[in-house]
């Protein structure tokens, strides 16, 4: 029982620690901060998000996001601030824009194409 | 007949297209992040000269002639390979401005006396705030800024003679 409690504590410590390091006066901002950190890529260790990374640059960027959230900036404003500096690459999810239409819509086009081919075959038989 | 023929060669074409994309994917370097600051004005900043906290240099003072803003730090081991060649560039008339990134005055001064100082001017960005404004994600990084103060080129990685001759020299000469 004691061991389970310890494991639980260890699992929780991540969030608790984050809240102790980056205190907010309301839960909404805490949630916004946590949410943003998961969407943002650490540019030094590229497959980690900012939340998980302890690279010096990731810590700087985390502090920057903290400051902006504290100032009451919206998600959009914060993301615009960061992409102006680091480009879309800092986002794990690429934004929908003319350069990424193929990326976003090609799967649906292929799905429709496959469906059309299937229909053609079925109808012929 | 015709249809059979198409069905026979189709897999080969699909295979070739896949090989093309995978081959291209292998040669892409994910560590190479394009700068989103290209063709934009140098973000405004005001930083002390290294070792002289009292003299602040504003980014507007850098405008007027093309400069190469070189981001370096004493903790960056790759940076130590550069000063010898950078001194050549300085002699060749390249205006090198150093941005000492997330470093302390003591470490930076010791580093410069060890490896030599190739810069005309060194600005100290101890907190790395200007680094964030420039989108710096790893040292060394080099920004070419034209005489109007527009960022025209960003190079990530150490500048060697090969890199300069192949990638950067022509771009630098365009700024003149």
DSSP-derived secondary structure for A46-107: TTSBTTT---HHHHHHHHHHHHHHHTT--HHHHHHHHHHHH-GGGBSS---SGGGHHHHHHH
Residue A117 with chain B: CB contacts under 8 Å: none
**Best-predicted range by mean pLDDT (A42-46, A95-99, B34-38, B61-65):** B61-65
Residue among B50, B54, B60, B41 at smallest CA distance from B121: B50
Convert the pLDDT of each residue in A61-92 to its tens digit.
999 999 999 999 999 999 999 999 999 989 99
pLDDT at A65: 95
B30 inside domain? no
CA–CA dist A100, B18 (Å, integer): 20
Which of B7, B33, B131, B156 should one mutate to test binding to chain A, selecting the residue with the greatest count of A CBs within 10 A? Answer: B33
The answer to the question of residue B72 being in a domain is yes
A2-93 is a CATH 2.40.30.10 domain: no
Q: Tell me, what CATH number does B80's domain have?
A: 3.40.30.10
Evaluate whether residue B103 is within a structural domain. Answer: yes
Cβ distance B135 to A85 less than 8 Å, yes or no, reads yes
Residue A68 with chain B: CB contacts under 8 Å:
none
Domain containing B157: what range? 46-175
Q: What is the mean pLDDT of each run of 10 residues along chain B (176 residues)?
A: 82 94 85 83 94 89 94 94 95 95 94 94 94 92 95 94 94 92
Instruction: Please count the structural domains in chain B.
Output: 1
Confidence (pTM): 0.81
- Distance (Å) from the alpha carbon of A42 to chain B's nearest alpha carbon: 9
Beta bridge partners, B97, equal: B69, B121
Residue at B27 is within a domain: no
């Amino acid at each position: 029982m004691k061991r389970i409690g310890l494991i639980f504590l260890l699992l929780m410590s991540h969030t608790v620690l984050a809240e102790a390091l980056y205190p907010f006066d309301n839960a909404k901002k805490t949630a916004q901060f946590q949410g943003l950190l998961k969407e943002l890529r650490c540019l030094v260790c590229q497959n980690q998000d900012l939340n998980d990374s302890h690279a010096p640059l990731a810590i700087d960027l985390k502090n920057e996001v903290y400051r902006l959230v504290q100032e009451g900036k919206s998600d959009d404003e914060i993301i615009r601030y960061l992409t102006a500096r680091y480009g879309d690459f800092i986002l794990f999810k690429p934004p929908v824009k003319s350069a990424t239409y193929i990326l976003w819509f090609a799967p649906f086009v292929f799905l429709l194409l496959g469906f059309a081919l299937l229909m053609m075959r079925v109808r012929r038989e | 007949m015709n249809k059979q023929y198409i069905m026979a060669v189709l897999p080969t074409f699909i295979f070739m297209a896949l090989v093309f994309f995978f081959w291209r994917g292998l040669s892409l370097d994910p560590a190479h992040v394009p700068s989103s600051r290209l063709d934009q004005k140098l973000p405004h900043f005001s930083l002390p000269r290294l070792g002289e906290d009292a003299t602040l240099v504003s980014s507007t003072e850098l405008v007027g002639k093309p400069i190469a803003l070189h981001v370096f730090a004493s903790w960056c081991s790759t940076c130590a390979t550069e000063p010898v060649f950078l001194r050549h560039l300085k002699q060749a008339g390249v205006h090198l401005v150093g941005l000492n990134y997330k470093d302390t005055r003591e470490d930076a001064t010791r580093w410069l006396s060890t490896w030599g100082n190739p810069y005309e001017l060194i600005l100290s960005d101890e907190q790395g705030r200007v680094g964030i404004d420039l989108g710096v994600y790893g040292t060394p990084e080099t920004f070419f800024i034209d005489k109007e103060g527009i960022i025209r080129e960003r190079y990530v990685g150490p500048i060697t003679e090969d890199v300069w001759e192949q990638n950067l020299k022509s771009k630098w000469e365009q700024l003149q």
